[in-house]
Amino acid sequence: MKKIIVIGAGAAGLMAAVKAAENGADVILLEKMKRVGKKMLITGKGRCNITNTASVPELIKNMIGNGSFLNSAIRAFDNEDVVTFFNELGLVTKVERGGRVFPESDKAADVVGTMLRQLHRLGVKIETEMAVKRILVEDGRAVGIESMSGALYKSDAVILAAGGASYPGTGSSGDGYTMAEAIGHSIVPLRPSLIPLETEEEWVKGTQGLSLRNVRVTALADGKKIGEEFGEMLFSHFGVTGPIILSLSRVVADALNQGQFVELVINLKPALTPETLDKRIQRDFEKFIRKQLKNSLHDLLPSKLIQPVMDLSYLDGEKEIHQITKEERLRLLDTLQHLTLTVTKTRPLAEAIVTAGGVETKQISPKTMESKLVKGLYFAGEVIDIDGYTGGFNLQAAFSTGAAAGQYAVWND
């Protein structure tokens, strides 16, 4: 019976351990935290968005960091396989807007619990509060690990699924990269992928907590468009966050790293052409013709945005509507469709939902997840240089790479 060590009990490590055990291996799962699946417990706002119903090409397209590398792994264990896996183990799932798949209970703990029960049924030995110091390599082959306490664990194969460098409180502190690098693997520089953005403008602080739906945000780097998203965003005391900001954050982070000047242009009324919006503003102005401007914009804007929009349009809020000139009205229109923020930096890497960068994909077999440098060493999940948008894509990648690593660690010689 093959002996397999899995380092890290996040989504990828849990799946790798299950698949290795299902294929007849004697599996030890090592986790440095007190409990397994800590990062899974906070994903999807504590609900755990396990995958997405998109087609396989769409799944790969939404993995913006090296999605093509995942082609084999995702096709071998795709989103339907993930849903079937959990359903057969008794976890009922549901599909929400955007094809996002959640447990019907809305509890991430049920996803982790389902995997844990299967591991116990399969006889997998789980050791928590067990930090790994290094992977043992002899004659170009992984033969086990040494723990931080100096204990040696021998095995026929090692699966490294130690996560990224974001949310260190969940155990993802980047030590997997150190272990991989120590035995010859190249690490693509780490940077945040899904992360809130800090902005320069002072007025943003006064809008803290304001959520905007159905807006379009365009990211510009040195004046050139680098990305665009439609949907929901949120203002915070430091800047902006929310689904569409997170989706844009990777290209923004890359541009900032290159020293480019980055702006976000928010179209608050993307469904309207400038001409249609102008007519809408004129109708509102007619309705409130004897009121002051500051008391006439509540139909157009959330309260927290009225003063900033007036300031950015160089408009006097005390002025009565019938005194507003056409030029002033057109300045208001322009601001409504081009509300611009200057991005100064991303939030710290530790706050990123996903880490971009990691173990160089060219040094890993895309089918088996085995290292091309060290026999018997396999990789799974975020430790690899892969990352995707929000919506279940990153967990799908974790499950697919975990399944491949778990199976081939048993099947390969």
Q: In what order do the strands lie in the sheet with 93-96?
A: 51-52, 100-103, 93-96
CB 214 within 8 A of CB 230: yes
The reply to whether 114 and 250 lie within a common domain is no
Same-domain pairing of 152 and 75? yes
**pLDDT tens, residue by residue, 175-193:** 999 999 999 999 999 988 8
Q: Do residues 97 and 218 share a domain? A: no
Residues 165 and 81 in one domain: yes
Residue 132 pLDDT more than 80?
yes
Residue-level pLDDT at 42:
87
- How far apart are the two ends of the chain, measured CA to CA in Å? 12
pLDDT tens-digit map of 250-269: 999 999 999 999 999 999 99
Number of domains in the chain: 2
Mean pLDDT, range 285-312, rounded to an integer: 96
381 and 335 both lie in a single domain? no
Q: What number is the average pLDDT over the span 293-299?
A: 95
**Domain termination residue (choose one: 321, 346, 371):** 346
Same domain, 186 and 200: no
Looking at the structure, do residues 306 and 399 belong to the same domain, yes or no? no
pLDDT surpassing 90 at residue 167 = no
Q: What is the arrangement of strands in the sheet containing 152-154, beginning at the earlier edge strand? A: 132-138, 141-147, 152-154
* Structural domain that includes position 170: 3-192+353-411
Residue 170: pLDDT band (50, 70, 90) is confident
Closest CA to 244 of 197, 299, 206: 197
Residues 183 and 259 in one domain: no
Interatomic CA distance for residues 137 and 328, integer angstroms: 71
CATH of the domain at 68: 3.50.50.60
| Chain segment 343-365, per-residue pLDDT in tens | 999 999 888 888 899 999 999 99
pLDDT given at position 166: 76
Average pLDDT, the chain: 96
Residues 318 and 365 in one domain: no
